[in-house]
Structure 1
């Protein structure tokens, strides 16, 4: 049996095909999308990670090539889909031919979960996910935040609840912060401001950090070592009371003193008593780089002592931090970000060649934005047009469009109602009557995957779809009727005897009413997408 699973595919790409971790992850995800597309187009349910037939995979790769019958889909995302399936075919050939021992688990150990930052992470530092309601923006922020902080976790194909639990862990740990912008959200909430607090019956004014400054500070502080503070404390201890340590191997005592140059002098209590110098910089080099230095047997004892007594810590390997800003377009960007709008640019982050810092107005502290803090915003295009976004924000963020994906609903059947076709038809009508930014997202219908009942479908329409359409079209019932069909919105003529006289401008007066009882019939939904019945 051949194993063409996702974990092995990603590891093969990195080990044998020299792909970056990010590219490998994208290609592996693209294979899932190709599986769904191929299944839909051919009617043959396929999961390429469960396939054992290498020749079949080669044929599929040809179908998605430049001249293949699915070339248009293969060209999506600048050819990423086509490249992904071609690479997957190479991977399958390597396993099938025995060039790569994929069947041995020790060749492909499961990735170790870590939250350390690697140089292969190439995510944009500032990203905004935008799209119409129900397109999965919130779900994607959770997945993307975990991918930024702990990418190997996704290799285990976690379920939704497992993904959320992992997200909540990082949220509690402070590596992820979440906030929502609104009309009253201010600089003081986001960066820092003066707060009034009652202390023993008296009003006390204190500068408090906002959500952005808190997580930026946490992301910065983790990279600092306390070596200088520990070394100063050690020197003070030696100057006041002297220090005697023992070698770790043979427990031979030696005195530690401070030289005139501020370095450590080591004097063994046995032997000739000659002093041996360990400079501050050599000790730093030994502690940080773990390299051998002169008089290393004494340096090891000193290291052991300061780690136990002074809690010495090295500069930690950077961990990524993520700030999620929901509804980022609803706040006043100029007021909220203030002077920091420039500092979030990648080239202005701390450590960059053009790094900038500012003096904050309340605390008077110097502040810069670390390069391991990622900002992910979400934006509902139905709430506010992308064209109205603050120009300063648009220039500094990488925008990712998230549109409805009806294909994710493939295979969901509710008493004969094809949910994928239903959403596709309604969105086509909304686009024609309004625009693509006010379409309906697939997430509204995802609960039907676990509960494919007419009662659940009615609930989706009654509580989410119909109210949203009323908001979109400002209760223009004629257009709503065009979207959902004649069964749901019934047109009625106004009683001509209602008025004594003709009303100006009222010609053939009509009124509309919702027929909610129609939601209980499968035919109502089928008529929406069945040709000639809408």
Structure 2
């Protein structure tokens, strides 16, 4: 097993697990399995009724019901028509005296045989498949004996084993289930001692969820999510033709699916590998032509493609039709007339774009690793997506990105409706390598909006009051930019460290979490924990980021000791090449280095004692992986609506001199920089500014000098959108109120003190939104015309523009009677 990749995936999974907005949409499993397991009892006399009622649950039941896959419904049908025989089949499946592979094969064989009888009995019903395959068998076995079995689906286990280099053997899916159980136990041994497991069990108990004592559901979910919900680095890009000459494209787009033909193969879940698919293709379609491409297409469609992958649709060899994101697993839709192998797709864009290069002929091709062939260092999928002007990668943004990387902070300026915020997010997606959904959840991205009452204390650092029992404590804290800059700085500094140093810090942090847990248990028992024998100071409470300790001078008073001080104090004393004493350790807070340093020294010694008593010692064999430097991007919408000089304060200097310390008016103990502020080189700031808003504050020269200003002007979107989705003629008519060409020459209607590029209405006002109730008349009367009339009142447009506005209204019949 690739231990490094396994640990990476496990850490990603743990990080997402408890989040309410987790990218893993699988939490329903614990809820429904709790409901089913509470009712499951194979020892009752009326097993058939028990079976039916057990699967009647509230909420999602995707584990046993999806499109054309309904094993419990079909099993119930067999129970009704063949009760004794079907009961016997289940009894044999649960009989532990028979080897597992025999039981699995016999169970499926029974339903294969009985299905023919059922089809004869109900000829008018579409009984194509009984759904009693290894997926459903694993469900029944798991419910009957959760300590031994687990849920299984061949595709996710195969992909997981392939990615981790676990040598997965493809001997037929029933045999693979046995191998899967071996993998499951191997993973259990690795994760059993992880502190996360205790949190996981407590979480299930507190939320009345399936307890999962065996951890088999957790491991199954970890494996499934690791390969199904793609992280950016694992996302794949596919070039796909929806039928010959894309004749199925309109249908698939409307249905939100993609699908393959070769319907004679029936459900692809019944095949264990590509060789079985190839044999079935020859059996079904005959012929002497090579079936390699068809085999690869079907095999990859079920086994390699994942939720989150990007599908690029083509017609022929020189035309693109759109793109979308895969949103479901494979399913076989027997109710469709043709193209029954399907996946759901969230289509993002539809249109027609001609390209100069010849695309591959195949129906489905994984193009993730293909180069563009343009000597620009870009991937082929980046080139194709850029041709469709999408939000994932935009070649036209490249000069702005280069400017941002040089200047570190830019402002996108333009009139209303030009998509400045959208453009800023697109740049962030490009620089972080994320799609739109991933961007919103990324810790490397933040977006905020300024307003006139915004202050330094809201944005950088300030004072907060915290209630501590009957007392109020005031503390200096980092605010939005302070916190974000700290995170970026930590990553930047870690990326400069040798891997062993990072490994030491990670190890100490992990052990310290366990130390705090042990302290918490002692407090729950004894109400307090003595720090050192023969002294008075005690730990009285465990906070999220600190320990509450009574003072030396007053037993009834207390002080907060930051976790970071204890951790850095330990590293300085025991894991550094040059010992750094508490009083001299610059990484510690002023409190730690003050007259109370003996208190901090004793806390570090208590932590060391805990490590010694538990035989925990850092070893150079621990993982020593170099930290990769990451980009951090902050978008400030409407940046000119606040008084920037006041909001930024001393950071005006830090913007220009990245990486240099600036004295702060607030000292924050748990910040990396204490009483200093640093904007690291990997922190980028993108502001947006509405140039038509005359009511906002002026940006002074000192700030202007530190930002690069980029014009975002209105543009005609006719060629980029579906026919009828952009009001081309209306856009041109309104544009003529401001300019005679491309916003360089003023029209006769605009006042001389205004530039067309600063006040012309943006293209977003002219996008059809009929499906949302915003058809052309509505947009004109309630969005476009009010701004134009406001421009006349404010002197942006001359008074004689009123006549032209009315003429436009009449020309396009826009007046609402």
The TM-score with structure 1 as length reference comes to: 0.49
TM-score, structure 2 normalization: 0.33
Q: Compare relative contact order (CA 8 Å, sep 6+) and give the higher one, 1 or 2.
A: 1
